[in-house]
A = this chain, B = another copy of it.
Amino acid sequence: MSTQTARKDAPSTSKGRATRDRIVAAAADLMYRHGAAGTSTPALRDAAGVSSSQIYHYFADKDDLTRAVIAFQTQAILANQTPLLAKLDSLNALNAWRDVVIDAAREHGGTGGCPLGSLSSELSDHNPQARTALAASFTAWAAAIREGLLGMVGNGTLRPETDTDRLALALLAAVQGGLLLAQAQHTTGALEAALDTVIAHIHDQATPR
């Protein structure tokens, strides 16, 4: 795969932006279900209801499209999680976030995995541009979790010396590992065990009341 970065400029009209958005949403859905390699231009054309020339009008190549899908999925996850993480003012709120993550995985019986995790497993070793984008996405996700934990330090729920960087990474790894295992095991048992163990540790770090 090329390590060159070819990009198209963002569309200048609202109609152009709508078409581009429709292509990206359809590509994200296809890549989530079949992987990036399993997503062909004809399938995308049919799913998005556009012509191949429209796809190539908005995207220089498949790597360009893949980057757009990574940005789309990152935005979707952060839009879903940030409101919950922004109000992590208590251990109860942390458990509410845990429930949302687990319920989402349960909804489809564990299948699917994480849209970003699956793309990362497929692409990171072979597509340096995608890897860099995915690394930035995971960093942004960990930062959103850390912000929430910092709120709990700010209001005295967690001790000032709590290592929020480390706990945020541990929670993100628990989500990723738990979702990956759910895909094989068709149960959220490992996801629950992982999140509950890290959260139990956070409980133990809480200021005694």
A: residues with CB less than 8 A from B are: 33-35, 37-38, 111-113, 117-118, 120-122, 124-126, 131, 134-135, 138-139, 142, 165-167, 169-170, 172-178, 180-181, 183-186, 189-191, 193-194, 196-198, 200-201, 204
Number of copies: 2
- Taking a contact as CB atoms under 8 Å apart, the answer to whether B180 and A117 are in contact is yes
**Contacts A177-B194, A193-B170, A193-B173; is A183 near B37 (CB within 8 Å)?**
no
28 intermolecular pairs with C-beta atoms under 8 Å apart: A35-B122, A37-B38, A111-B124, A112-B125, A113-B124, A117-B121, A120-B180, A120-B183, A121-B180, A121-B183, A125-B183, A131-B184, A138-B190, A139-B185, A142-B190, A167-B193, A169-B181, A169-B189, A169-B194, A170-B193, A170-B197, A173-B173, A173-B178, A174-B174, A180-B180, A194-B198, A198-B198, A198-B201
- Taking a contact as CB atoms under 8 Å apart, the answer to whether B183 and A173 are in contact is no
Chain B residue with Cβ nearest A191: B173
Instruction: Collect the chain B residues with CB atoms within 8 Å of residue A111's CB.
Output: 124-125
